[in-house]
Amino acid sequence: MPTRLIAEMIYTTVYWLNSFPSESGISSTLSPKALVTESKPDYHNHFKLEFGTYVQTHEVQNSSMAPQTVGAIDLRPTGNSQGGYCFYSLDSSKRINRYS
């Protein structure tokens, strides 16, 4: 398993731990993320994919013959209101952000 992917698993775990209220936290209804950023996860945008899901991400379109999709592994939502996700690109072995 690539070292980058192991680090991303840790980031993903921290992201999800901060997205839900803690029993021993300050608030029993608000998550640590909601207390700091004043934003709650939108279940229609942030819960579509599970960590490790293989997807074909949509790349920037142009008139060349370059591929318009790239194979990638889902890491986690970006946390923004548009519903973007972080992916591990199988072409470049880097983290990329995509909406589709």
Cβ contact 76:86 at 8 Å: yes
Find the domain containing 11 and state its range. Answer: 3-98
Domain count, the chain: 1
Q: Which pTM was predicted?
A: 0.75
Give the number of other CB atoms < 10 A from CB of residue 46.
21
Give pLDDT tens digits for 22-38.
888 788 888 888 888 87
**pLDDT for 54:** 93
Beta bridge partners of 85: 77, 98
**HSE-up (13 A, CA, CB side) for residue 45:** 16
Cβ contact 57:49 at 8 Å: no
